[in-house]
């Protein structure tokens, strides 16, 4: 089944790129894009809601061919596809590209991911993303290309600058299996104009500043019964995520990872993201109140009544 899904995904989506200018969409192209958007919305509904595998696979196949046709239209980069709710479309702040991703449920332990990167340049290029997660030997250390992409449903992207040029954080979700889910932070860069996934920018150091590990991407696996949060916090300027601890899972699951209520993450320093063990562990120079709350109040009992005050006889 995986080979069949890979084959039709590659055959239908693969192309070498096409030239066009990203500008204003003319009336004819806009009308065509609106029709394609309606079809994409229907296909996305089938992918998510059809109870039969054949229906979901057919919806995915049609979505691929329709999206390919839509993006070939002049200036399609500027069409937002806002009604296609089942496909995640992420733009970085600099709008140099946009990335489409979506998820196909195969069975309880198998999810497949599809995607494409559409560049916003005078000679616009489309790069299909082929999910080969099962073949990735070392998820956190391998450098990957679009044809052997670690598939995920991306929900955020964040540009950052390094001595080697601009790169982009990609925050993604991977359904992985029935018992355990995954989230990851990948790194997208462009070498000779082509996408590359992964870069040695995630650094973990000891208390003396010695490097313990340098990763090309971050990947966290956690219990499907838990809520694991990981994203870029604009207010703090940090990658922040739940700290995970091991616990016994439900029957048939074995040990699994769950959040413990604390947070850790990564902070950008000189083009690298350095690990910070804990966030929001604040200490205060002074007490939050200059005096204890009850110092100027009369003594009360546990019911809030003043002690020593007798009831009036009726």
Q: For the segment 224-282, what is each residue's pLDDT rounded down to a tens digit? A: 999 999 999 999 999 999 999 999 987 778 899 999 999 999 999 999 999 998 876 54
Span 87-114, mean pLDDT?
96
Q: What is the pLDDT of residue 284?
A: 44
Judge whether 15 lies within some domain.
Answer: no
**45 close to 89: Cβ distance less than 8 angstroms:** no
Q: Does the structure show a pLDDT above 80 at 312?
A: no
By three-state DSSP, how is residue 9 classified? helix
Alpha-carbon 98 to chain mean position? 14
Q: What's the rounded Cα separation, in Å, for the pair 296 and 148?
A: 70
pLDDT band at 288 (very low <50, low <70, confident <90, very high): very low
Q: How confident is the model at residue 91 (pLDDT cuts 50, 70, 90)?
A: very high
Say if 151 falls within a structural domain. yes
Question: Is residue 121 predicted with pLDDT exceeding 50?
Answer: yes
3-state SS assignment for residue 38 = helix
| pLDDT of 305 | 57
User: Rounded CA gap, 173 and 152, in Å?
Assistant: 5
Say how far apart CA 131 and CA 128 lie, in whole Å.
10
Q: What does the alpha-carbon distance between residue 183 and residue 224 come to, in Å, rounded to a whole number?
A: 11
Cα 190–191–192 angle (5° rounding)?
A: 115
For the segment 60-72, the average pLDDT, to the nearest whole number, is 96
User: Do 186 and 239 touch, CB atoms closer than 8 A?
Assistant: no
What does residue 304 show for φ and ψ, rounded to 5 degrees?
Answer: 85, 10
Mean pLDDT on 150-177: 97
User: For residue 297, what pLDDT is reported?
Assistant: 52
Helix (H) or strand (E) holding 105: strand 97-107
With respect to residue 70, please indicate whether it lies within any of the assigned structural domains.
no
Task: Dump pLDDT digits (tens) for 5-36.
Answer: 544 454 555 544 444 446 889 999 999 999 99
> How high is the pLDDT of residue 5?
52
Expressed as residue numbers, the domain containing 140 is: 132-283
Across the range 142-148, mean pLDDT stands at 97
Provide the mean pLDDT of the chain. Answer: 86
Give a yes or no: residue 23 inside a domain. Answer: no
Domain count, the chain: 1
Does pLDDT of 209 surpass 70?
A: yes
Pairing of β 272-276 and β 202-205: parallel
Share of residues in the chain with pLDDT > 70 (%) = 81
For residue 193, being part of any structural domain is answered with: yes
Give which of 185, 143, 189 is closest to 166, Cα–Cα: 189
What pLDDT does 37 receive? 98
| Residues whose CB is less than 8 angstroms from the CB of residue 65 and which lie 6 or more positions away in sequence, other chains included | 12
Looking at the predicted structure, is the pLDDT value of residue 141 above 60? yes
Percent of the residues in the chain that have a pLDDT greater than 90, as a whole number: 73
pTM of the predicted protein model = 0.83
What is the Cα–Cα distance from 186 to 142, expressed in whole angstroms?
Answer: 11
**56 is a domain residue:** no
Q: Is residue 77 part of a domain?
A: no
Q: Is the predicted pLDDT of residue 296 greater than 60, yes or no?
A: no
- Asked if residue 148 is part of any domain, the answer here is yes
pLDDT score of 24: 87
298 band by pLDDT with thresholds 50, 70 and 90 = low
Better pLDDT: 286 or 184: 184
């Amino acid at each position: 089944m995986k080979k069949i899904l890979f084959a039709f995904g590659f055959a239908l989506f693969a192309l070498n790129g096409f030239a066009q200018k990203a500008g204003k969409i003319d009336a004819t192209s806009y009308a065509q894009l609106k029709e394609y958007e309606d079809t994409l919305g229907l296909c996305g509904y089938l992918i998510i809601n059809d109870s039969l595998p054949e229906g979901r696979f057919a919806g995915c196949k049609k979505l691929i061919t329709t999206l390919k046709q839509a993006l070939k239209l002049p200036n399609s980069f500027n069409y937002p596809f806002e009604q296609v709710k089942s496909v995640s479309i992420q733009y970085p702040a600099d709008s140099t590209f946009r990335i489409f991703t979506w998820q196909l449920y195969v069975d309880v332990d198998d999810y497949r991911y599809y995607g494409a990167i559409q560049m916003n340049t005078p000679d616009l290029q489309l790069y299909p993303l082929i999910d080969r997660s099962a073949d990735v030997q070392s998820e956190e250390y391998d450098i990957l290309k679009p044809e052997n992409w670690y598939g995920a449903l991306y929900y955020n992207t964040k540009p950052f600058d390094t001595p080697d040029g601009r790169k982009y954080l990609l925050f993604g979700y991977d359904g992985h299996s029935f018992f355990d889910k995954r989230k990851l932070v990948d790194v997208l860069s462009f070498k000779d104009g082509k996408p590359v996934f992964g870069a040695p920018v995630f650094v973990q150091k000891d208390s003396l500043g010695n490097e313990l590990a340098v990763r090309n991407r971050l990947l966290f696996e956690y219990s499907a019964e838990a809520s694991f949060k990981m994203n870029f916090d604009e207010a703090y300027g940090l990658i922040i995520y739940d700290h995970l601890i091991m616990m016994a899972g439900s029957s048939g699951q074995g040990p699994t990872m769950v959040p413990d209520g604390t947070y850790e993450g990564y902070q950008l320093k000189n083009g690298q993201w350095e690990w910070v063990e804990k966030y929001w562990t604040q200490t205060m120079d002074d007490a939050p109140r200059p005096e204890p709350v009850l110092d100027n109040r009369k003594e009360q009992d546990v019911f809030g009544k003043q002690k020593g005050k007798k009831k009036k006889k009726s």
